[in-house]
Structure 1
Amino acid sequence: MRKLTLIAALSCLAAPALADDAAVLIGVDRYDDFRRVSGATDLIDTADALRDVGFNVSTLADGSIRDTRRVLEQLADEATDAERLVVGLSGRFATDEDRTWFLTEDSDTPTPFGLDDAISVDTVLDILSRAPGQALLVLGYDQDNFASFGPYLREGVGRLDIPQGVTVVYGAPNRVDDLLDRAVAAEGGDVIAYVQNDRRLNILGYQPGALVLAPEGSEPVAARPTVDPSIAAWNRARAANTADSYRDFIFSFPRSPFASEARERLDDLENDPRRVAEATEDGLNLTRNERREIQDMLTTLGYDTRGVDGIFGPGTRSAIESWQRANAYTPTSFLNQAQIDQMTAQFIRREAEIAEEQEREREQREQQDRAYWDETGANGGAANLRAYLERYPDGIFADQARQALGAVTDNAQAQAREDALNINPTLRRLIESRLAGLGFNPGQIDGRFDRNTRRAIADYQSSRNLTASGYIDQPTLARLLADTFGR
């Protein structure tokens, strides 16, 4: 259901301006398609203070694109004659780095060609340029949120093309409303000095030595004459009958005769544990890295978050809910500090358990590896060595097995070359005799090539710069015969 749109000063948009100085304060803390932005509508509370120093103020809380445009179009009309201009926008923004848009409560998820329901910040800057030197744009948004809207857009504010004479200040919502109250709407208040003394605020664009938008002795401006807009808003709030609708009504009409009843109905609805839990988690101000850590802990504990990206989407909320059920908490899908602390303790224990399990598995694998080596590879032979390598290609003895298998393969090839020579027993005895005569001990001269004979052949081959395989091949036989008959 579309959230209730609240407008504090729209009922007489056609009325002429009563002052030359204009201010617009727009805050959106509740969206149809996005998480809420805590404190985004608080800047509207500074409206009366701005009126007291001569500004004609229009405000809008949780407004639709249609109502937001109407407020800003009115500002565009007033800007032609204004001496001072102030615009405050607090909520969610989208940027492609070169352009930035302010998202209204009914904005869809931004796409490169789908930003018709958002407000161009560049256009707002153009309007402010009508009062150079006395123009201020205040932007309030979550400084730690860089969520992606696809490959082309992200949340936040990009590079701003700021016209000459326009000052831009940005920071968290709870910081910019203090700026409006204590510097912009304070007689003699210096915006530049205030920002310099608050490291959580940032300033861009026109930065003179001092920027005073409310000189001493500023005359207050009465609010525009209006019919009581709270009547229609109250009817809409009752029809919606949601906590959001009553809260929005109270924000926009705190002094309405219906405000007391709205608070009573809101109190009843806010007993919902899920809503209380959401507000509690919002109050933790978790950074994206802290959210990643929570997702990692949930995953380690066996709860699937469908990604570890620092964004608490449906997968993470479902995982939190499952964890809460398993630990006897009300399954709200929102966390408080005590739950995070308990989850952290469980994660640390589970990490230690996993490390112990991995060590036991490693020891077991090593034991099995050694046992199989003793059964196969340690006995030698190509079949045994291959059997070991097939089961343990990266085993403890894998390198040793490959070297041994290579040697067995080389011996088999050398044996095949010797067999191909068809050496008869007489020639074998001649070879043994010649080896003995040359000082290489082949053992008993009996025409059988045993271990001693193989060693003598290898030593002879080495002495003649031949391949020392221990087997007779054509070059070795030719050299032996030459040594025998060529003397």
Structure 2
Amino acid sequence: MRKISLIAALTAFALPAAADDVALLIGVERYQELRRAPGAEDVLDSAQDLRRAGYDVTTLSNGTSANMTRTLNRFAQGATEADRLIVGLSGRFVTDGARSWLLATDSQSPTYFGLSDAVSVDSVLQVLAQTPGQAILILGYDLNSDAQFGDYLREGVGELNIPQGVTVLYAEPNSTDGVVMEAITVPGADVMAFARDARWLNIAGFAPRALVMQPNDEDAETPPSGHPTLQFWIAAQELNTADAYRDFALNYPRSPYAQEARTRLDEIENDPQRLAEIAEVDLGLTRNARREIQRDLTLLDYSTRGVDGIFGPGSRRAIRNWQQSNGFAQTSFLTAEQINRIDAQASRRAAEIAEAEERVRAQAEQLDRAYWEETGARGDAAGYSAYLNTYPDGIFAEEAREALDEDADETESDGGAESNQAAADAEAALRINPVMARLIESRLAQMGFNPGQVDGRFDSETRGAISRYQTRGGLPATGYLNERTLARLLADTFGR
């Protein structure tokens, strides 16, 4: 079966027509309904460099969903005969954690079941899988945005299911053209070395020790002509996968290219990035365990851009930054030791935060008690009112309200029928309609005076609330409204 795969690859390689290298660049900076994606069109600046490097390049700037669909369909058709594939997508992306989409310029606010016209990043990856080892996807998006779209979508790119042999590079939108012009299209340039040296660029998927997309003409391999394994060796290089090199070394152990095949197989299988990924997978982290790690990293000020149990680009970036700060290799994949250390650091940080909060609480309580000593503790209405104005939810707030209620009740019981009638007449002269009455009751309730049901009718509970309000404000506590009380109450209502 292994030999058959090589023969099939050889057959494709031996076709007389030379395949084109294909590149697609889409940048969406301006949106009709959504906010801009500054710098997203910069990805198009590398088009000329790609053409000079021999790529058939298609570009689309600020495309509508219909334009994007047509462009992607043409790209997918052309990609079937390509030797090398480059795709650059830059703009605003949304993700549900497991799948990701690029939004078109005419996209409305995205909904979970309304993304049929957006560009599926997963579909693009499947097209790129046709040229393993010679396929790069470049994503440009705001790495720090945490915007939510409903309960199921957030801005950004989630965890990608990257096919074997596909390299994904992602960065801020205004940085996407740099890797193309300075590495991918430069003869002999190592894309992996460039990406690892560039702090602004992140790597996912196929990350061999070295990846040259544009070989030097003088460095092109010219193996001895006529050797019976030559064509199979060329086919293995075209596939550029661990399986291809392993198949070649097993099937042709005496070939002059067998040692090179074993060397390349060793490079792929022992790539530190790949080994780190395998080690993390072997940990068998559950989704809840990943959520806990994300919470810990966030507590330590390494933003994962969400706590959803999915290690997408945001989480990988946070892990890589933590690894850098703590002296570990920056693989973006975790070991058991690192998880334990993150947990210990987060526990300590949580204790420090709790201690700081307790100090703040104790200081606030001390100030509260000191203010009470200077106001309410003196036992008069003015002191109670002063305390409640400063500490409406303070330690002694309930005691102050009860004292004011008692003062109001005593004032009501001391007043004669004549004074009550005069107060009632003064209120009647105000001609308070039901709408205004409900507003007054509502405001009294908001201020904590308990007027009873807010129904536009002044009953005994309402009278008690008015009386308590008057007492606190230093007004005659009649339980009825007059011009002065009403003006004060309305000023408190609309002045806030």
User: Which category of TM-score, normalised to the shorter sequence, fits these structures?
Assistant: 0.3 to 0.5
If the length of structure 1 is used for normalisation, what is the TM-score?
0.44
Between structure 1 and structure 2, the one with the greater Rg is 1
TM-score by length of 2: 0.43
